[in-house]
Structure 1
Amino acid sequence: MAIVKMKKFKLFALEKDRKSLLKELQKFSYVHFVKTKEDESLKEIELNQDMTTIKEKSQKVKWMLNYFSKLFPKETKKEIDESSIKETLFVLVEQQASKYDFSNDYENLANISREIDSNKEEIANLETYRKELSKWLNIKESLDNLRAFKTAKFFLGTVAKKNFEPLKDKLRNFEHTYIEEISDESSQINIMLLTSNTEEKELKNELKTYSFTEINFNFNTSFTEEYEKTKSREEELKKANEKLKEKVEKLLKLIPKLLIQKEYLDNALMRETVVSNFKATDTVNVIEGYIPLDMEEEFRKIVNKNSNKSNYLEITEVDKDDEEVPILLKNSGITGLFASITQMYALPRYNEIDPTAILSIFYWIFFGMMVADFAYGLILFILSGLALMIGKFDENKKKFLKFFFALSFSTMIWGLLYGSAFGDLIKLPTQVLDSSKDFMSIFILSIIFGAIHLVIALGIKAYILIKNGHFMDVIYDVFLWYLTLTSLIILLLAGRFGLSEFTKNIFIASAVVGMLGIVVFGARDAKTLVGRIGGGLYSLYGITSYIGDFVSYLRLMALGLAGGFIASAINIIVKMLVSKGILGIILGVVVFTIGQSFNIFLSFLSSYVHTSRLTYVEFFSKFYEGGGKAFKKFRV
């Protein structure tokens, strides 16, 4: 991958040509608009009144699609996946959208939605009502009959559990009053009371002292009849909603048309919104932005053709240090699969390089080394490969699957080198490193990979400095560190290499020169001598971070060994179970499947996270700032 070279443009176009120009530029799509610089002689462009209408239409279309997805998620997804909207040309979108007026379909769907919601609300109320009725089903007599007494009064209500027994005791003093427990809830009792007209007033006063709450029902039939009537109404409403849903299902065929309409309205909305970046006189619009260098001629042709050359277009080189220059990365082949790793951290600035090409090599190697199991790699290869062959995915999901498909090869290669398949279950004849014995060899290999990674990171920094014309900074910020670190590493390994005293002294001198250079030039921008020395000493303190970096690369060894040991532990348990007979064999298969699946997931997740960490913390920190602004294509 590489950063696409940009050019900046400033266009003076007639107001009358703006709408048609923006349509043509949307077809072109490779335009990144920026806010036109302030100028007292220029004014803001007032947004078109049609924008409110476009927004309303867009919201209606999106509501329709969301409503379909809510009621029929699988069917809606299928319709969207099978639609050809992604391949539809801009011109065809405009043509097809103008042929379909969705307003009648919207009103129809909105009415159905309101009816369904109204029915749902009534069903919810009926369920609550039915739950209340169920508490009184023990009363078999109709309420009409119970209310028909001439010399007696009938009450229904609730009382707290703690008050029920005291209330019963109190009512024994009433000669013509009857109390009955109808049903029992967690904290209260539902009761029925029957009293004479002569005792009614005294009874009501007494009930107040026991916090009795009277309940009235507005029907005359029995509770059972009312309950069944409510249940019947609820079923009726549910059937009505099913019929309404069938009507909605028939409207799913509108989805392709609605997707076209959504694209059309989004494009129209973008054209109206982007105008807020422009400035204008009474008759001329002033438009600024960026275009890719290799599309300059095509851009010129579009602008001139649209306005019959009644414009003034100025295209200039960009300042490589300008942070406003938008970043567009050019994808190519396998390298492009690792672009998400770079972008997850940050886009590069325009004066940097896109590190994805180098990143992809090390990421591929490190990921495989951290998993290091041939069987695990083969499973990843099969699953990601089948998904790519059978599944229908958008471009981003395809890239993600291809990313893991590529990583499966690294995992299988390292599995062959470690001679590992499901841990120690299958010993492969290709084994070069034995994870249970060759600890020191794997340790040294991890450190070597780390050293190469860091050396290349500093090399990239040197390249960026040279590319931007900072030749002396290469000596100060890269060469002095190469000299210092190389000298110190060789001195640490002097005994192993059997270096002579004279050679040692040369490297000691080199280390001292390097460290003094770092102190002197590490804070060369400081305004005072004290600040320069202090900043230089702090820069030299950065040696400690390199020690931490080298230690970090031991995770290449640690994760590979950990995954292997967990797999081996699972195999030991399975072998013990298998030796216990048929039941043991069944349990062994279950333990093996679950255990190895968990270890596969854990190994891949850990490798993804820790390889990203080595990239972001150890590698990128040496040369990569990031923070570039993404190139926003003028196209939905």
Structure 2
Amino acid sequence: MRELQIFRNIQFEDVKDIEDFEDKSLERFKKPIVEEYISNLDENMNKSIYAIELISKYAPTVSGLKSLKEGLPNYTFVEMEKRISEIDFDKEYDIIKILGDELSSVELKISKKKEQIKELEPLLELDVSINEIDKLSRFNSILGGVSGKIVDNFNGAMSGLEYTYYEEIGVYKDEVFFFIISDKREEDELNEALRIGNFNKIKIDSDKLPRDSIEDIKNDIQKLENEKQNIISNISGNKDKLDDFKLVYDYLANIRVRELAKRDFMATSSVCMLSGYCPDFDTKRMEEIIFNICGEDYSLEFKDVDRDSDEIPILLKNNKIVRVFENITSTYALPKYNEVDPTPLYAPIYALFFGMMSADFGYGAVLLILTTLGLKLCNFTPDMKKNVKFFQLIGISTTIWGFLYGSYFGASIPGMWRLFDLSTQFMTILIISIIMGGIHLAYGLAIKAYMLIRDKQYVDMFFDVIAWYIVLASIIVLLLSIAGVLNPELKTIAKYGACLGIVLLIVGGARAVNGNIGAKIAAGIYNVYGISNYIGDFVSYSRLMALGMAGGYIAFSVNMIAGMTWGHTIIGYVASILILVIFHAFNLFLSCLGAYVHALRLIYVEFFGKFYEGGGKAFKFFRGKTRYINLDRHLEE
């Protein structure tokens, strides 16, 4: 199990799903019992979390750019095990636990002392000690409080007593406190008045005045605070153990994954049977690992999975450049096993669209410089590194489109070559956007055609792809002929082509319906209605032009405002620089956010909608997800 976890490219399934253990020849096989060991692991993981949180709360930590630069420590699985063998976890935890218990005890004492002060504060006006008054033989002395809601009833009852003196001495929250001294001859009447006021007696055993007692308690609190600071200092002094506890937690998390996997096994005292999934490119290495451990004492069978099953786990395999776009695919849905991985198909298109919508050479250069420096100087986690590489590629696309538009932080450089001028050629850019959209849609249909041909579904390919090509191409040619862009004589051919395509769409929509002729015709007409969706798709690509222009005009406006404040005084120069830096940074953020979201929409809706369903389940590596370290980072990258 250890070697397979180092290997990691295996996902176990319940072996009972593929073997009949009701058979007498297999009746000796039982599920391994792992619950007690898992419970022990959970306990130690909770101990690690307790120690981590306690030390982190009081020990100084690295933050900001320095924390990004240092990042999480990097370990291979073997290095992690070696370091774990050097850690005396129980001893280190006991030290932290004792300090934590001492800290909790002191904090509880401080809390109780503060509560005592709150109880005594309403009695500050009392200028005699209760113990002294209690020595009187003929009188009763009482301290206590009455709810503010019934204090009038209490005052009314007390005012009728002839041999009793009472005085309001303070208010705390919703309770009014009184000092009462009464002749014992009137004790019964006094008790009735106390009952009417629901009087809450306070017993203070002290020879001191309340104000003096409060001072004593404050002195006690100060001593406890000093003790607390010493304990905190000792906790902070164990900062060097923080990395040990973090490493132990991630190590135990992996051991826990290892133990949980055994729930899918069946075993006797001498034989273990297991099953699962392994990527086809790694089966040879897996068999070598098993052979190195078991020698000849094992039986291993590989079987190709059912490509149409929805239960097959999905592991995407792409080159280093395409891999940074895989988060976009998984955010939508992983492909099913019988689908193509769309990531390499849309990756260059996504970068193209993003760059066109955020097009500014300066903004792209900033992205490119920041991401390149980050990758070179910072120790990112594998996921974070993938995201940074994503924006590095996006920065290249943004820079190229900014150069084509001649936009440099919203300004144009005199004499600098440009392919398009956003201020005058927006219609040209809009037409190019629509043409790019048409190519993109046709590309999506072509992928669908490939998948249908691969699956030998030639009829579906003809009606679901070729028919749409005929209809859409005919409509486009017809519109361009009417507009005079193409030869008017093509108009007649386009009309016939459109009619033929519509008939094919009707037939294609009807073929999938089992029912009477009316239902088939309705399904066919509804299929033709899909033309309106394609019209909407074409128009949707106008955002490629619109967002590029929006970002450019905002940048231009920022430059114009900064130009108005430039000059005359130092304040003007400083204000202009601040305006340029702050608002260009904000516009860079808005441009990237808008381009990111709208490029996603063009991929998810317009592109994926033509061929991609998704719904695959992610392959689960035989590893625990680390929280505090980068484990076998080279495998992630």
TM-score under structure 2 length normalisation = 0.85
**1:383, 1:353 → 2: CA distance?**
34
Other-structure match for 2:474? 487
| Corresponding residue SS for 1:401 | helix
Q: Which amino acid is 2:53 matched to?
A: S
Alpha-carbon contact 1:346-1:626 (below 8 Å) kept? yes
Residues 43 and 279 of structure 1 are in contact (CA less than 8 Å); yes or no, is this contact kept in structure 2? no
Shift of the alpha carbon at 1:195? 3.6
Alignment of 1:28-47 (within 5 A): 28-36=7-15, 37-39=18-20, 40-41=22-23, 42=26, 46-47=30-31
Does residue 400 of structure 1 match 2:387?
Answer: yes
Residue 391 of structure 1 and its aligned partner are, at CA, apart by: 2.4
Task: Classify the secondary structure of the residue corresponding to 1:329.
Answer: coil
Structure 2 CA distance for partners of 1:179 and 1:555, relative to 1, 3 Å: farther
CA spacing shift, 1:67–1:486, aligned 2, 3 Å: same
- Evaluate the alpha carbon distance shift between residue 194 and residue 419 of structure 1 in structure 2; reply closer, same or farther with a 3 A threshold: farther
- Counterpart of 1:556 in structure 2 is 544
Matched, 1:27 2:6: yes
In structure 2, what is the Cα distance between the partners aligned to 1:612 and 1:509?
A: 37
Residue 519 in structure 1 maps to residue 498 in structure 2: no
- Partners of 1:281 and 1:151 in 2: CA distance: 88
Which residue in 2 is equivalent to 1:616?
Answer: 604
TM-superposed CA distance for 1:517, in Å, is 1.1
Kindly tell me: are residues 329 and 221 of structure 1, through their superposed partners in 2, closer, same or farther at Cα, counting changes over 3 Å?
Answer: same
Task: Confirm or deny: 8 A CA contact 2:509 2:524 kept in the other structure.
Answer: yes
Aligned to 1:15: none
Aligned to 2:141, which of 150, 154, 160? 154
Residue 76 of structure 2 corresponds to residue 60 of structure 1: no
Q: Which amino acid aligns with 1:628?
A: G
Matched residues in 1 for 2:68 and 2:592: separation?
A: 32
Higher mean C-alpha deviation, range 336-345 or range 261-270: 261-270
Cα shift at 1:500: 5.1
* Aligned counterpart for 1:343 among listed residues 314, 326, 330: 330
What is the CA–CA distance in structure 1 between the aligned matches of 2:60 and 2:31, rounded to whole Å? 39
Q: Is the 8 A contact 1:375 1:422 kept in 2?
A: yes
Shift of 1:616: 0.9
Describe the superposition over 1:321-341 as per-residue Cα deviations: whole angstroms up to 9, x where unpaired: 233332222242322211111
Q: Distance in 2 between matches of 1:482 and 1:29?
A: 46
| CA positional deviation for 1:402 | 1.6
CA distance in 2, matches of 1:84, 1:418: 41
| Cross-structure match for 1:366 | 353
Q: CA deviation at 1:48?
A: 4.3
Equivalent residue letter for 2:388: L
Spell out, residue by residue over 1:328-373, the C-alpha distance to the aligned partner (whole angstroms, 9 max, x if none). 2224232221111111111112222222123221221222222223
Give distance in 2, aligned partners of 1:339 and 1:620.
Answer: 14
1:124 equivalent in alignment to 2:103: no
Cα distance in 2, alignment partners of residues 611 and 528 from structure 1 = 41
- Alpha-carbon spacing, 1:267–1:583, altered in 2? closer, same or farther (3 Å): closer
Give the 5 Å matches for 1:258-337. 258-259=245-246, 261-279=248-266, 284-337=271-324
The count of corresponding residues between Structure 1 and Structure 2 is 614
Give the Cα separation in 2 of the matches to 1:370 and 1:146. 86
* Residue type of the alignment partner of 2:552: G
Displacement after TM superposition at 1:562 (Å): 2.6
Match of 1:69 in 2: 53
Equivalent runs, 1:190-229 vs 2, <5 Å: 190-210=177-197, 212-229=199-216
Decide which moves more: 247-256 or 403-412: 247-256
Equivalent in 415, 425, 438 of residue 402 of structure 2:
415
Question: Structure 2 counterpart of 1:24, which letter?
Answer: E
TM-superposed deviation, 1:35: 2.4
Secondary structure in 1 aligned to 2:310? Answer: coil
Displacement of 1:577: 5.3
SS in 2 for 1:190: strand
Unpaired stretches in structure 2, ≥5 consecutive residues: 625-637
Secondary structure class of the residue paired with 2:179: strand
Contact kept? 1:369, 1:556, Cα under 8 Å:
yes
**Matched residues in 1 for 2:51 and 2:464: separation?**
59
CA distance in 2, matches of 1:573, 1:162: 63
2-side partners of 1:203 and 1:588: how far apart? Answer: 80
Matches of 2:222 and 2:27 in 1, distance apart?
Answer: 64
CA 1:100–1:52 in 2, change beyond 3 Å: closer, same or farther? farther
Equivalent residue number for residue 233 of structure 1: 220
2:52 and 2:394 mapped to 1: Cα distance? 38
Confirm or deny: 8 A CA contact 1:123 1:237 kept in the other structure.
yes
2:613 to 606, 625, 628: 625
3-state secondary structure, aligned to 1:154:
strand
Map 1:365-384 to 2 at 5 A.
365-384=352-371
Residue aligned with 2:616, SS: coil
8 A Cα contact 1:523 1:536, kept in partner: yes
1:249 maps to 2:249: no
Cα pair distance change 1:33/1:177, threshold 3 Å:
same
1:85–1:259 CA contact under 8 A, matched in 2:
no
Cα pair distance change 1:285/1:56, threshold 3 Å: closer
Q: Distance in 2 between matches of 1:371 and 1:438?
A: 17
Aligned residues of 1:181 and 1:189 also touching (Cα < 8 A) = yes
Partner letter of residue 207 of structure 2?
N
Cα shift readout 1:453-501 (whole Å, capped 9, x = no counterpart): 2111111112222333333332222111111111111212212335555
**What CA distance in whole angstroms lies between the structure 1 residues aligned with 2:156 and 2:430?**
86
Stretch of structure 1 that moved more, 295-304 or 184-193: 184-193
Distance of aligned partners of 1:381 and 1:142 in 2 relative to their CA distance in 1, 3 Å threshold: farther
CA distance in 2, matches of 1:66, 1:406: 41
SS of 1:220's equivalent in the other structure is coil
Q: Relative to structure 1, is the Cα distance of residues 103 and 161 closer, same or farther in structure 2, using a 3 angstrom cutoff?
A: closer
Q: What do residues 540-560 of structure 1 show as CA deviations (whole Å, max 9, x unaligned)?
A: 221111112122222222222
| Distance in structure 2 (CA, Å) of the matches to 1:448 and 1:252 | 61
> For residues 427 and 608 of structure 1, what CA distance do their matches in structure 2 show?
31
Give the direction of change, closer, same or farther, for the CA distance of 1:235–1:405 in structure 2 (3 Å limit): farther
The CA deviation at 1:414 is 2.6
The question of whether the paired residues in 2 share the 8 Å contact of 1:83 and 1:256 is answered with no
Sort the Cα spacing of 1:186 and 1:278 in 2 relative to 1 into closer, same or farther, 3 A: closer
> How far off its partner does 1:529 sit?
4.8
Which of 553, 568, 589 pairs up with 1:565? 553
Amino acid in structure 1 at the alignment position of 2:229: E
Please tell me whether the aligned partners of residues 69 and 76 of structure 1 are also in contact (alpha carbons under 8 angstroms). Answer: no
Do the aligned residues in 2 keep the contact of 1:65 with 1:255 (CA within 8 Å)?
no
1:412-451 residue pairs with structure 2 within 5 A? 412-424=399-411, 429-451=416-438
- Preserved contact between residue 482 and residue 491 of structure 2 (Cα < 8 Å): no
Q: What is the root-mean-square deviation of aligned Cα atoms in Å?
A: 3.5
**Which residue of structure 2 lines up, in the alignment, with residue 458 of structure 1?**
445
**Structure 1 unaligned blocks of 5 or more:** 1-21
The reply to whether residue 87 of structure 1 matches residue 75 of structure 2 is: yes
Identity %: 36
What CA deviation, in whole Å up to 9, does each residue of 1:211-261 have, x standing for no partner? 554433343322222222322333333333333333333444344544554
